[in-house]
Amino acid sequence: MSLVVQKFGGTSVATAEQIHRAARRAIQEKLAGRRVVAVVSAMGESTDRLIELAYQISRNPPKRELDMLVTTGEQVSIALMAMAIHEAGHHAISLTAAQVGLVTDSVHTKARIHSISAERINRELDAGRIVIVAGFQGVDPAGEITALGRGASDTTAVALAAVLEAEVCEIYTDVDGVYTADPRLVPQARKIGRVSYDEMLELASLGAGVVHSRGIEFGTKYQVPIHVRSSMTDNKGTMIVPETPGMEDVIVRGVTLRRDLARIRLNRVPNRPGSAARIFERVNAHHLVVDDIIQNVTGDGTMVDIDFTIDLEDAPQARALCEMLAQEMDIGSVQVEDQVSKVSIVGVGMRSHTGVAARMFRALADSQINIENINTSEIVISVIVRRDDGEKALRALHAAFQLDTGP
Ligand code: ADP
Ligand code: ASP
Ligand code: MG
């Protein structure tokens, strides 16, 4: 019998009525003869509320306790969803990550999934139940509750779909698919019918918050077809699938904005083997994720300047770390620029078209936007701009690559 994993995001279970609607979708699939696993997020913005509460109590809440707190949101919604299914006369059971056996590492607030046991879920499915699993949470090998990072219920869903060999993982959300840009920022954005795993991974990690990037990593690795669609309609959404030949015809599939970044600059780092290794080993040991590293030789060649970007929320920690390193390693000074954003264009078509970068820079120049850094890879070109210019840059690029009007 085929199996489907359905994931309902916070906006799709924000009210009792929406929970009933989500329950009806799960039941519909069950009645069509499929095994159904639903992964549910916390209701509406309740995770935000929990985090605000934590910071009312403490300016620096212990991360273990933060995870204990934020994962409660999903426990509420899975129970309500199971009740809604019972109310409609069908069998369902809600399970937390610990009950499923979803094991993660011990990095609180951004834990990574290590393994998932299919045993309990399969037993419940065999008994004819719809299984409702809490998204976003895990349990480490010592039994501690962990959280997988903001927006990570998607990752729970795709990882489960991989383990259970689901036919499809459906992501139900408040938009009817993946768009060429965030429709809240670019009203002209259009729905994409099909996007490759590689493109979606880049779009998601570069700011398209519609699907959590780690979920796409699982999707790619285990070739899980992912269908992003609206919980309000039955329309077909966006299919995330392996790349097919025609996909390279479109140069840019989408544009993204990562608004809240900071750039850390280490001035006058001694130019000798091991300097960069020592800096980034230390940063990595604190689980800070950096990108866009730039190194320039300065003066007579005995020194280098090293720049890197980081999530704005990690900037205070990164600054403290770098100031310590500056003392230990005789680094000149540490500067933090906290008003930067990253704008990117993504598409497999870049592999077979030339002049894409020049066209991007021209569009930014014509909009009077200054580029602070540039980073390119096979299917992405990113620029760092001042935060005030971020949305303008996004819209300029959306228009320049004809995403407003289609190919
Ligand atoms: P959920 O609660 O269902 O997980 P999210 O808020 O996490 O929903 O994701 C849906 C939102 O993602 C949309 O409302 C939209 O504003 C935003 N978004 C950002 N980039 C894109 C994009 N490229 N395509 C569609 N939606 C996007
Ligand atoms: N409830 C969690 C969050 O708001 C996880 C999710 O919604 O995917 O981040
Ligand atoms: Mg989400």
210-52-216 Cα angle (round to 5): 20
What residue type is assigned to position 224 of the chain? V
Is residue 407's pLDDT more than 70? Answer: no
Mean pLDDT in residue range 374-397: 96
Q: What spacing in Å lies between the alpha carbon of 244 and ligand 1's midpoint?
A: 25
What's the Cα-to-Cα distance from 37 to each of 132, 298, 369, rounded to whole Å?
6, 57, 47
What is residue 299's predicted lDDT score, i.e. its pLDDT?
Answer: 77
Tokens standing for residue 295 = 């190194």
- Only one residue has tokens 């078209």, namely 353
Helix 275-285 / helix 315-329 crossing angle, nearest 10 deg:
140
Q: Which fold, 3-174?
A: Carbamate kinase (3.40.1160)
Q: For residue 10, which atom of ligand 2 is closest to its CA?
A: 7
Nearest-angstrom CA–CA distance, 381 and 401: 13
Pocket of ligand 2 (CB under 6 A): 9-10, 41-42, 47, 73, 135-136, 150-153
Q: Kindly give the distance from the C-alpha atom of residue 65 to the centroid of ligand 3, in angstroms, as a whole number.
A: 23
Atom of ligand 2 nearest to the CA of 153: 8
Q: Cα(270) to centroid of ligand 1, in Å?
A: 44
Taking ligand 3, which is a single-atom ion, which protein residues have CB atoms under 5 Å away?
Answer: 9, 151
Q: Rounded to whole angstroms, what are the CA distances from 83 to 94, 127, 174, 349?
A: 9, 17, 23, 47
pLDDT in tens, 216-232: 999 999 999 999 999 99
Q: How many whole angstroms separate alpha carbon 402 and alpha carbon 113?
A: 39
Q: Determine the average pLDDT of the residues in 71-81.
A: 98
Q: By the 8 A CB rule, do 183 and 257 touch?
A: no
Task: State the Cα–Cα distance between residues 374 and 342, nearest whole angstrom.
Answer: 10
User: Could you tell me what percent of the chain has a pLDDT over 70?
Assistant: 100
Q: Which two tokens stand for residue 99?
A: 């009950």
**In Å, how far from its chain's centre is CA 345?**
17
Q: What distance in angstroms lies between residue 333's CA and the mean position of ligand 3's atoms?
A: 39
The residue behind tokens 């700011």 is 207
Look at ligand 1, atom 9, and give the residue with the nearest C-alpha: 210
Pocket test for ligand 1, best of 175, 185, 200, 232 (most atoms within 8 A of CB): 175
Pocket test for ligand 2, best of 53, 67, 148, 150 (most atoms within 8 A of CB): 150
Ligand index nearest the alpha carbon of residue 204 = 1
Ligand nearest to the CA of 212: 3
Give the 3-state secondary structure of residue 44. Answer: coil
Distance 147 CA to ligand 3 centre (A): 14
pLDDT tens, 247-275? Answer: 999 999 999 999 999 999 999 999 999 99
The conformation of residue 191, written as its DSSP 8-state character, comes to B
Going from N- to C-terminal start, the domains of the chain cover 3-174
- Residue 244 pLDDT greater than 70, yes or no: yes
Phi/psi-derived region of residue 25, left when phi > 0, alpha when psi is between -120 and 50, beta in every other case: alpha
d(CA 381, CA 338): 22
Interval 309-365: pLDDT, tens:
999 999 999 999 999 999 999 999 999 999 999 999 999 999 999 899 999 999 999
% helix / strand / coil in the chain, to the nearest 5? 40, 30, 30
- φ/ψ of residue 324, rounded to 5: -65, -45
| 361 C-alpha to ligand 2 centroid (Å) | 35
pLDDT at 326: 94
What is the distance in A from the centroid of ligand 2 to the CA of 96?
15
The DSSP H or E segment spanning 62 is none
- Position 57 confidence tier, pLDDT thresholds 50, 70, 90: very high
Query: Closest ligand to 49 CA?
Result: 2
What are 68's strand-pairing partners?
none
Residues in the ligand 1 pocket, defined by CB under 6 Å: 9-12, 41, 151, 173-175, 178-179, 181-184, 208-210, 254
CA atoms of 337 and 292, how far apart (whole Å):
14
Question: Strand, coil or helix: what is 134?
Answer: strand
Q: Which helix (H) or strand (E) holds 336?
A: strand 333-346
- pLDDT tens digits, residue range 114-171? 999 999 999 999 999 999 999 999 999 999 999 999 999 999 999 999 999 999 999 9
Residue nearest to atom 1 of ligand 1 (CA): 9
Structure tokens at 272: 């000798």
Cα(297) to centroid of ligand 3, in Å?
A: 41
Ligand 2 atom, smallest distance to 156 CA = 8
Q: Is the pLDDT of residue 180 over 90?
A: yes
* Full-model pTM: 0.94
